[in-house]
Amino acid sequence: MTNPIAIVLGVLITVAIVVDVMLFGTDHMIFLGKKFFELIEWIAFWR
C-alpha cells in the first residue's frame, strides 16, 4: 500500500465516521466499538 492510498483511505474512513455521528448520534458507535474489541480478542486467540 502506498502512502497516497493510505491517506485517502484514512480520510474516507474519518469522513464516514464523522457523517455517521452527525446523522445518527454516538450510541451505535459505542456498540460497534465494543464489538470491534471482542473481534480483536477473538482474532488474538488464533495467534
What is the helix (H) or strand (E) element at residue 46, kind and residue range?
none
pLDDT attached to residue 31: 87
State how many domains the chain has. Answer: 1
Range of the domain at 9: 3-45
pTM of the shown model: 0.62
Based on its alpha-carbon atoms, the radius of gyration of the chain, rounded to whole angstroms, reads 14
pLDDT attached to residue 3: 93
Q: What is the pLDDT of residues 23-46, one digit of tens each?
A: 888 888 888 889 999 999 988 877
Residues 6+ apart with CB under 8 A from 3: none
Statement: residue 5 has pLDDT above 80: yes
Q: Which amino acid is at 44?
A: A
pLDDT attached to residue 40: 92
